[in-house]
Amino acid sequence: MGQLLNPFKGSIFVSKAVAQDSPKLYYQNLFPYFTKYDRYHAVLASTEARRWGVVYCKKNTVNSEDHAPSWWNLEAVPHVQTLREFPREELAGKVVTVRFDSTLLLMEEIDLRINLVKNAIFTVKYLHKSGAKVILASNWNTNSITRHPNMESVADYLTSVLQLKVLPVQCSSISMMSTKECFEKVDILLLQNLSEFKEEVANCSKFSKLLSLGVDIFVNDSFSQSHRILASTVGITRFCCTCIAGFSFQESLCQLKEAAQTKRQPYVAIIGGGNLLDKVSALHLLASTCSALVFVGMMSFQIMHALGLPVSSRLVNHSVCKEAADVFQFSLDKSVQIVYPKDFWCKNVDTSKKMEIFASHDIPDGWLPVDLGPTSLDEINALLMKSKIIWIGPVKFFNSSQSTGGASILARKLYDLIQSDCDVTVVGTTACKSLMQESSTLPACNVFENASVVWDFLKGKQLPGVLALDRAYPYKINWDAVFCDIALPLVVDIGSGNGMFLLEMARRRKDLNFLGLEINEKLVKRCLHSVCQLEMRNGHFIATNATSTFRSIVSSYPGELVLVSIQCPNPDFNKPEHRWRMLQRSLVEAVADLLAANGKVFLQSDVEAVALRMKEAFLLYGKGKLSVFQDQVGEGWLSENPFGVRSDWERHVLDRGDPMFRIMLSNSTTVNEAHLEP
């Protein structure tokens, strides 16, 4: 559409007799007889698919030479919108809640050697300097942080750390906090300790809504809690217009992605701690990518037993012998080297002060291992040379207080390797402290004090705190590979479903490019398969959440955006006012900003309340750029589909004799009546 409604030969209306269903060929192509992912992969990765711009950026279709292998659950660490990427000018005057990490900002002594700490402080100062009204929220354990017995002392401590006046407030006063008067005498507000509320851990919807009252933007800067589902990290995002990652959160996310990359070989995993049963899936994942697994904790006895070595029964959990054998066999099948301690410092049970070194397979009765022996440490040190390394879990055995410094020796070796440009990731409080004690300057390595987040990632679990944030599209789109002519005007169908509407539109209108944005990945795969089969050069589909990615995707398109359609979003009748996820303020504003002059927005639903809400949202949040295109007749709905192409659901609704509620909006203050001629 040089003007989209003109491309239809000067008329936007088509009689009901003219409007036709999509050909059966398209319906069949949308549901090909592929049932296994590898067959989809074969189609999507084929030369023909690449020729026609079938680009599906997903963990199983990326180049294994440049990215993590397919088994890494990269959906657990997707690209998210960050404070660094968010337009700074849009922060001025906005109420921003920051979920900060109490383990970083409320530690006994702030350690500015730690980049995560510096970034956590910078997040708050950056927002305040940008003119935002900042509310801080977190949970902290008053038993472990004895210097902060109440929220007043926490507020005073944060005031000294941030050099900004922090005022403590009760959660019951949240509804009053967004007023300007609250911020006249203080710089920042601090909510009371969230650990006092059982609703926080329960992710209570009412409590989440309470936390969001008056809040324009939510900033999550507590990555250590991203594996948990909390009201202050997950629930609150349902009620805030914009949800982004802070600087400290962003750094941790980048570090986790870096730890997943396997470009550098050999890759050695040093695994401490115990509880093998809980970590079996994580050990399988590590064995899938690492060259060697080095066991330095209580799990080593379980692995030694699986190898058939003599191990005292008191050191083995016989209920997980099968799982240990599975880990060993899986590693053997993958040609992964397994390294276990060859000797231990042991203490005498009767005379606890007496310690001696014994071979790991020859620990006498009456003795218990307390630390790694010198032979074990020498073997580990030799293995680590020129390797990429992840150390996760403590070097811990019985009564580790009597250890001979095995963790320190290992940390010293890793510190030396970091100075030699080795790629090292250290996970867990004990391992991190051991490494930091080696120097007054923290070495350049990836650090995760909360091991639970990393273990959950290694188990293939998704991280709820990450997934709850706005996810920006992570890949730059090569539009030349997607479309034959990128100068053509663009039509975007948000929530394109099975693609029948868009595919038929693309077949009829070669003078336009068509892009479908759909959150259901399986449907997108089928649509891309159809694009490939039909050798279509002006149609493409992307698996994404358009609410958070529409702006980043469409803004990079070289041509004009002339039409946006949203058809039949699914309402949720269990929520007040028929809440639904798709149409939020941020999406409406993005459409209004990117739509070309005289561009159009087509909305329709078989639920009148939903159609009305969509219309009201675009008129309310469209920045005054959008107006109703047609004359208001009766209820103001279009009587017919203006394109002559019906979506699958529209066809279903009309076939059962129910009405569709349609409206067209225009990015123009004046309506061209000539376009309304039938």
Q: Which two tokens stand for residue 563?
A: 């039409």
Q: How many CA atoms lie within 13 A of 483 on its CB side?
A: 23
Task: Determine the average pLDDT of the residues in 298-303.
Answer: 89
Question: Which 3 state secondary structure label does DSSP give 607?
Answer: coil
Q: Which residue in this structure is represented by tokens 């549901």?
A: 31
Q: Which residue in this structure is represented by tokens 């030396």?
A: 416
Residue 564 pLDDT level (bands cut at 50, 70, 90): very high
Question: Which 3 state secondary structure label does DSSP give 191?
Answer: strand
Residue 49 pLDDT level (bands cut at 50, 70, 90): very low
Question: Which 3 state secondary structure label does DSSP give 147?
Answer: coil
Question: pLDDT per residue over 368-418, tens digit each?
Answer: 888 899 999 999 888 888 788 888 888 878 765 656 688 888 888 888 887
Q: Which residues, in sequence order, are CB contacts of 616 under 8 Å at separation 6+?
A: none
Q: CATH says 479-667 is which class?
A: alpha beta
**Burial per residue of 503-539, b for 16 or more beta-carbon CB atoms within 10 angstroms, e otherwise:** bbbbbebeebbbbbbbbeeebbbbbbbbbbbbebbbb
pTM, two decimal places? 0.72
Task: Determine the average pLDDT of the residues in 196-209.
Answer: 92
311/319 Cα distance (integer angstroms): 15
DSSP secondary structure of 401-432: GG--SHHHHHHHHHHHHHHTT--EEEESHHHH
Pairing of strands 539-543, 166-169: unpaired
* H-state helical runs in 334-419: 374-384, 406-419
Q: State the chain's mean pLDDT as an integer.
A: 79
- Every domain range in the chain assigned CATH 3.40.50.150: 479-667
443 vs 84: which has the higher pLDDT = 84
Residue 293 pLDDT level (bands cut at 50, 70, 90): very high
Q: How far is CA 560 from the centre of its chain?
A: 30
Question: pLDDT per residue over 490-504, tens digit each?
Answer: 999 999 888 999 999
Which CATH entry fits the domain spanning 88-255: 2.40.10.10, 3.40.50.1260, 3.40.50.10860, 3.30.70.920? 3.40.50.1260
- Every domain range in the chain assigned CATH 3.40.50.1260: 88-255, 265-422
pLDDT of residue 203: 93
Kind and range of the H or E run holding 613: helix 608-621
Q: Which two tokens stand for residue 160?
A: 């000294």
492/514 Cα distance (integer angstroms): 6
Question: pLDDT per residue over 595-621, tens digit each?
Answer: 998 899 999 988 888 888 888 888 888
248/457 Cα distance (integer angstroms): 18
Are the CB atoms for 556 and 474 separated by under 8 Å? no
- Angle between helix 500-508 and helix 648-655 axes, rounded to 10 deg: 110
Share of the chain above pLDDT 70, in %: 78
Burial class (CB in 10 A: 0-12, 13-18, 19+), 66: exposed
pLDDT of residue 509: 93
pLDDT of residue 441: 58
DSSP code, position 264: S
Tell me: pLDDT of 30 over 80.
no
Residue 579 pLDDT level (bands cut at 50, 70, 90): very low
Which CATH entry fits the domain spanning 265-422: 3.40.250.10, 3.40.50.1260, 3.40.120.10, 3.40.50.300? 3.40.50.1260
Residue 337: strand pairing partners: 292
Tell me: pLDDT of 324 over 80.
yes
Q: Which of 495, 583, 478 has the alpha carbon at shortest distance from 543? A: 495
